[in-house]
């Protein structure tokens, strides 16, 4: 699997917010075997520097994000600061358009992606399953799309399964990462069985009773879903179908 020019083996991208302790965070990252961790630009001075030093020890690839930004100006400024702080051109683009659902603003997201791509960023845009928005994001330079499964932190899973299936079929050669809404390993399996390339999650692991064990559960679930998709799932049937044909059975009468 390739994200921009980077070959990635793990299909789990992991957020770093909300863990009960730094030690649990570090152990969860290790258990997940993720290669990419998302990080927000911190503005807490010394505390922020200490956090960056801590996660640097993981030796994972950083994917800074523009979490909490609601305007184009906020996004572009945050992205440029993140590039300097984390020394990467990767940026997870979030432009929140709705306070309650945290749904991305499609218009501002496309405009921000256009600006950032021209500035040399490799943009991972948080979007919806809207095909028109997806096309516009690709047209301005994005090479990855990150549709939500459900609102951020809701744990509702894939709320629009048919829409996501359509998106997968339509953008068949584009890496698609489910971002937001995944709350259980079974939901991650469902997304991977549909052919999505990866899962980005945070809350489902960070807020689990045992985040370290949950990280391992998601690692295995995503791998199982990937294998199932590659193996080829059987088609659903309207009626029962015996696995042993009646023809050729011994007559025991």
Among the residues of 119-202, which ranges form H helices?
Answer: 131-139, 161-170, 185-193
Instruction: Give yes or no: 92 in active site.
Output: yes
User: Taking the CA of residue 61 as centre, how many other CA atoms within 13 Å lie in the half-sphere pointing to its CB?
Assistant: 19
Distance CA 161, CA 185 (A): 16
What the block records as the tokens of 163 is 């829409």
- Point out the catalytic residue in the list 73, 80, 92, 165: 92
Q: Give 180's contacts (C-beta < 8 A, 6+ positions apart).
A: 102, 126, 148, 149, 150, 151, 152, 153, 154, 200
Q: Which residues pair with 12 in a beta bridge?
A: 199
Residue positions annotated with a catalytic role? 92
């Amino acid at each position: 699997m390739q994200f921009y020019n980077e070959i990635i083996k793990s299909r789990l991208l992991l957020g770093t917010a909300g863990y009960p302790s730094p030690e649990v965070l570090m152990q969860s990252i290790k258990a997940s075997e993720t290669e990419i961790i998302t990080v927000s630009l911190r503005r807490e001075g010394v505390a922020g520097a200490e956090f960056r030093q801590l996660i640097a020890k993981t030796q994972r690839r950083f994917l800074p994000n523009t979490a909490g930004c609601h305007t184009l100006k906020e996004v572009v400024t945050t992205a440029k600061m993140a590039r300097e702080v984390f020394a990467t051109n990767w940026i997870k683009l979030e432009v929140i358009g709705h306070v309650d659902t945290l749904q991305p603003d499609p218009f501002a997201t496309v405009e921000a992606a256009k600006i950032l791509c021209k500035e040399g960023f490799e943009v991972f845009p948080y979007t919806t399953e809207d095909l028109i928005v997806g096309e516009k994001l690709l047209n301005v330079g994005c090479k990855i799309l990150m549709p939500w499964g459900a609102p951020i932190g809701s744990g509702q899973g894939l709320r629009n399964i048919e829409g996501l299936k359509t998106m997968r079929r339509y953008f068949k050669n584009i890496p698609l990462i489910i971002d937001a809404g995944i709350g259980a390993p079974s939901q991650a399996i469902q997304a991977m069985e549909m052919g999505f390339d990866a899962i980005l999650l945070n809350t489902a692991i960070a807020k689990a009773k045992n985040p370290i064990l949950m990280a391992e559960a998601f690692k295995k679930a995503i791998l199982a879903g990937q294998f199932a998709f590659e193996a080829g799932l059987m088609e659903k049937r309207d009626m029962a179908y015996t696995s042993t044909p009646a023809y050729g059975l011994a007559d025991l009468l």
